[in-house]
Amino acid sequence: MAIPAQAPPADEVVADPVPPPKRRRSILARIWGVYAIRRIVYALSIVWLVTTGTFFMIRAMPGDPVEVLAGKLSMSGLTMDVARVRAEQALAWDPNANIFVQYFEYMGNLLRGDFGMVIGLHNTSVLDHIMKYLPWTLFSVGLGVVIAILLGMGIGMIMAYYRNGVFDHIMSAVASTLSAVPNYLGAMALILIGSTWLGLFDFWDMRGRISIGVEPGFTAEFIGDALYHAILPLITYAFTITGGWMLVMKASTTEVLGEDYVTVARARGLKGRRIGMSYVGRNSILPLIPQVALAIGTLVGGAVIVEKILFYPGIGELLIGSITTRDYPVIQGVVLILTCAVIFTNLLVDLLNSWIDPRIRKEGTST
């Protein structure tokens, strides 16, 4: 540490606004003080709450897997009574046990990573089954969000820079309209106009997530095909969000452009690119980050609908199917995983926020 050539006179001492930490706290208190850990514990407790809630709620509703399975079995000539007995045996748990016993058994298994077995399918664990669908949903929704972010933020920034110009007015109207349209309806309109009426593309061909005969793997063929089938879902997800974000980003950027530090940056003779990215860009994005979390939450819900109408087999299809057959383990598994996905994303977004905005960092780690 350099020593100034001349010690500043006494009245020059400038008070340090951030006092150094005082004494050592207990281990537990210090662990709790770490913001990230607090958040994780909080998140886990929510997951537990949701799981428990779902468990009891679905059992409180009419219908149960035994009846459904028995109904199917009785099609092949068995009497209902026999069918019911067979159905009960087919389940991986004892449906006649006390409900709380069932609950603790389920939670116990859960902690070991066992989500149960799929009813009606031979020897398929719920987790494996979900994993056949989940990645596709994550892929399409995730990519859609990324595209929406890039487009929305990019165009929004341009709109702010060329405020009140032709581009701004046009895009404002476009954004307003886009953000109002429900995404799945917009997709249907797109298909009706583009494919059925104008014949610009063939919707029939684009259904499903992979064409028949294409082998999964890290080949260009597979990835290209997957993307081809994902185009419509991607557009649908990106659709509504981009509109809203264009406007928010424009507002945010406009505000930042009026800030003192941007004028000072210009006065300092900094290069345009640097100002655009480090000064304007980084600060404009800040208010949008919490919105990303919110958007993902609503998207995941809407994904169920979107997947159904676009015939894209993802977790939505799984959820609906399992509800119809009252496949309790699958329903619980899907709800649990979706909730975890949302929580995880929120956590990520929170961390991202505190990484980009140093002011939050300090608040978060304070005692």
Partner 1 sequence: MADDQPIMSVRDLQINYRTGKRSEVVAVRGIDFDLYPGQSMALVGESGCGKTTLGLGLLKLLPRMGYVPQGEIVFRRKDGNTANILTMDKEELRRFRWSEAAMVFQGAMNAFNPVQRIGDHFTDTLQDHANSKQRWTKKDIAERSEELLRMVRLEPGRVLPSFPHELSGGMKQRALIALALALNPQVLVLDEPTTALDLLTQRSIVEELHRLRAELGFSMIFITHDLGLAAELADRVSTMYAGRIIETGTADDIFYNPKHPYTEGLIKAVLPVAGDLPELASIPGSPPSLATLPAGCAFNPRCSYAQDDCRSTTPPLEPLVDRESDLSHRTACLHSHRINFSREVIASA
Partner 2 sequence: MSSVDVASRPQRTASLVWRGLTRSPSGFIGACIALAVMAFAFIGPLVIDSTNPSNGDKIWTGPSAEHWLGTNHQGKDTLIKLIMGGAEPLLVGFMAAFIAVGVAAVVGSLAGYLRGPVDTVALQITDIALTVPGIVLMLVITAMYRQISATTVGIIIGLTTWPVLMRSIRAQVMSLREREFIEAAKLQNLGTLRIVFTEILPNMAGYIFINFILAINNAIYALVGMYLLGLLPSTADNWGLMIQESWATSAYKDPDAFLYIFMPLAMIIIFQIGLVTMTRSLEQALNPRLREH
- Where do contacts with partner 2 occur on this chain (CB under 8 A)? 46, 49-50, 54, 57-58, 61-63, 173, 176-177, 179-182, 184-186, 188-189, 191-193, 195-197, 203-204, 297-298, 300-302, 304-305, 308-309, 319-320, 323-324, 331, 335, 338-339, 342-343, 346
Closer to partner 2 by Cβ: residue 85 or 320: 320
CB 86 within 8 A of CB 78: yes
For the CB of residue 325, give the shortest distance to partner 2 in the complex, in Å.
11
305 binds, among partner 1, partner 2, none (CB under 5 to 8 A by kind): partner 2
| CA–CA distance, 8 with 10 (Å, rounded to integer) | 6
357 binds, among partner 1, partner 2, none (CB under 5 to 8 A by kind): partner 1
CB 318 within 8 A of CB 130: yes
Helix/strand number for the chain, H first, E second: 17, 0
133 binds, among partner 1, partner 2, none (CB under 5 to 8 A by kind): none
Q: Residue 30 CA to chain centroid, in angstroms?
A: 31
For the CB of residue 277, give the shortest distance to partner 1 in the complex, in Å.
11
The pair of structure tokens assigned to 127 is 């987790």
19 binds, among partner 1, partner 2, none (CB under 5 to 8 A by kind): none
Closer to partner 1 by Cβ: residue 257 or 303: 257
217 binds, among partner 2, partner 1, none (CB under 5 to 8 A by kind): none
Closer to partner 2 by Cβ: residue 79 or 196: 196
Q: Which of 301, 292, 304, 310 is nearest to 347 (CA)?
A: 292
Q: Which of 232, 226, 251 is nearest to 192 (CA)?
A: 232
Closer to partner 2 by Cβ: residue 54 or 284: 54
Residues 6+ apart with CB under 8 A from 276: none
CB 209 within 8 A of CB 313: yes
Closer to partner 1 by Cβ: residue 229 or 250: 250
CB 243 within 8 A of CB 176: yes
Binding site for partner 1 (CB under 8 A): 1-2, 4-5, 8, 11-12, 14-18, 258-261, 263-271, 274, 278-279, 282-283, 286, 356-359, 362
CB 364 within 8 A of CB 354: yes
Helices (H), 21-98: 27-33, 35-60, 65-75, 80-90
For the CB of residue 343, give the shortest distance to partner 2 in the complex, in Å.
6
